[in-house]
Amino acid sequence: MRNHYVGRARRGFTLVELLVALVLFGIVGALFTRLMTVQGRFFDRQGMGNAARNVSRASLNRIVSDFRMVEATGGVIAATSTSLTLRIPFAIGVMCKNSGVGTVLSLLPVDSTTYAEAVRDNRFYGYAWRNFITGAYSYVENPATETNGNAPDCASVSITMVPNGKTVLVTPALPAGGGIGTPVFLYNTIRYEFKASTAVPGKLGLYRTLIKANGTQDSEELVAPFANTAGWKFFSVNGGPVAQVNPPANLADMRGLELHLDGISENIAPGQITNETAPFTTAVYFKNRIN
């Protein structure tokens, strides 16, 4: 009987070939897994680094927009390396006249929503006026009030209100040292401080607290988390170009602030032993100093 299988090509793999293939697949798989692990850790670290940088950037615009408006000699009320209490203007204008109950002011245009937020619920804290002779600002507060004024009071002394401006009445009346056309600004009292975050427990957050005229406070956490190095240093009249850790004894000598907005990631990236940090330093100098 003829064997039909004689001479046919052998099909399939031998056990040795199968073992060699498995070893090769294992090596390739191990290398691929390692590559994916390294790439994953790299992207995790990059993502956390971006998150840390976003913390610094998110706080910058709000802080700088407020700090740049601070009047040079009386705008800072209290200061430490992690806390600043400031008088921050929200409207500027000129004096029209002293009436029997207060001073009428003609204000430059201000966004209506911004103005309404600044004066509602006892948020208006006071006003400051500039002495024509000395060039210095004097602050009037505790108590001070702001109400709608009478526009004809300004027209009667040839002060024309700028389109979309506002006429207001503030009390107490501006002292005798001021006259018609005296520059005046209205302000809120704001405290910025770094302290324990509620959004990210165990880390620092940046808080903005509005201090009302009646003593109550509205506080909000702007952004978190920050590294323990976050805070500010101080430029002073006699301190030269290098910012100092401690504020000057006389806060009126302050020339500006060096801001350290050092962000940090919320978590530690795989393979790392510390959080990712994003050191960020900038400066704000007060304008219109007279010395």
The 10s digit of each residue's pLDDT in 241-281 is 889 999 999 999 999 999 999 988 888 777 778 888 888 89
pLDDT value of position 16 = 74
Residue 286 located in a structural domain: no
Mean pLDDT of 227-250: 89
Residue 198 located in a structural domain: no
Residue 106 located in a structural domain: yes
The strand pairing partners of 217, in sequence order, are: 211
Residue 5 has pLDDT above 90, yes or no: no
| CA–CA distance, 20 with 39 (Å, rounded to integer) | 29
Residue 102 has pLDDT above 80, yes or no: yes
**Residue 246 carries which DSSP code?**
S
CB atoms within 10 A of CB 176: 7
Whole-structure pTM value: 0.81
CB 206 within 8 A of CB 221: yes
pLDDT value of position 288 = 67
Residue 173 located in a structural domain: yes
Residue 290 located in a structural domain: no
Q: Which two tokens stand for residue 281?
A: 């330093």
Residue 263 located in a structural domain: no
Residue 178 located in a structural domain: yes
What percentage of the chain reaches a pLDDT higher than 70? Answer: 88
Q: What are the pLDDT digits (tens) for 110-123?
A: 999 999 999 999 99
Residue 183 located in a structural domain: yes
Contacts 24+ apart (CB under 8 A), 4-10: none
Concatenated DSSP letters of 94-105: EEEEE-SSSEEE
- Domains held by the chain: number: 1
Containing structural domain, residue 130 = 85-188
Of 233, 250, 230, which is closest to residue 242 (Cα–Cα)? 233
